[in-house]
Chain A
Amino acid sequence: KAGVTQTPRYLIKTRGQQVTLSCSPISGHRSVSWYQQTPGQGLQFLFEYFSETQRNKGNFPGRFSGRQFSNSRSEMNVSTLELGDSALYLCASKPSPGGVFADTQYFGPGTRLTVL
């Protein structure tokens, strides 16, 4: 079974631009979460989607948004990029959102975004 895939793996943008990152979950997984990883702030939860609906959201500004499609693939968008948005963006999938952490999250390799 293929793992979580993220595209692109690397991306360079300039301040003020917008960017869209894509995540394809493991087949059969319907919950997709996004995380931002930076050296200064570590791993921070962005949001979680299930059945095309956002279920959970971290403390990020409205410039960060996401969506999920009917095939469970998810995209996240960052508008008006700032230098501080440079990070590794990780996507994780699991079968369903519930289960009291019973379902293991499987992480993708991430998209490395550099903002110049």
Chain B
Amino acid sequence: AQSVTQPDIHITVSEGASLELRCNYSYGATPYLFWYVQSPGQGLQLLLKYFSGDTLVQGIKGFEAEFKRSQSSFNLRKPSVHWSDAAEYFCAVGLISNFGNEKLTFGTGTRLTIIP
């Protein structure tokens, strides 16, 4: 069965510093990979997704992620964080069943705190 691991429960970064959030997946085939962000009191917003092709994916809000098949990883990065980036970040892997149904499996999330 597919699974997603986000090893870091909580990360604190200074404003202006670079950020990398880790995500590892377990899935037999080439996965569909996603990063979502959830701000307090809000629903989830899609930051970026990877299906195939270029392994470096650009997303919204200046985020990017790199797919590394050899490491089963899909880490999220941002060169310089802003206070507004404080939120919870979720990595997810998509599965398509034999019946053609799509289902997302989420990691447990990483809470990002930004300090001035």
- Assess whether B102 is in contact with A97, with CB atoms less than 8 Å apart: yes
Partner pick for B43 among A45, A56, A58, A90, CB 8 A cutoff: A90
Contact B106 A43 (CB under 8 A): yes
Q: How many residues of B contact A (CB 8 A)?
A: 26
Do B106 and A42 touch (CB < 8 A)? yes
User: DSSP majority for the B interface?
Assistant: strand
Chain A contacts of B51 at CB under 8 A? 100-101
* A4 CB within 8 Å of chain B: yes
**Which residues of the other chain, B, contact A55 by a CB distance below 8 angstroms?**
101
Asked whether B101 lies within 8 Å of A107 as measured between CB atoms, the reply is no
B80 to A: closest C-beta gap in Å: 26
Contact of B116 with A by CB under 8 A: no
Q: Which residues of B contact A (CB under 8 A)?
A: 32, 34, 36, 41-46, 49, 51, 90, 92, 94, 96-97, 100-109
Interface pairs (23), CB distance under 8 Å: A42-B106, A42-B107, A43-B44, A43-B106, A43-B109, A45-B103, A45-B104, A48-B101, A55-B101, A56-B97, A90-B44, A92-B43, A97-B102, A98-B100, A100-B96, A100-B102, A101-B51, A104-B49, A105-B104, A106-B43, A107-B36, A109-B41, A109-B42
Interface residues of A (CB under 8 A from B): 4, 42-45, 48, 55-56, 58, 90, 92, 97-98, 100-101, 104-110
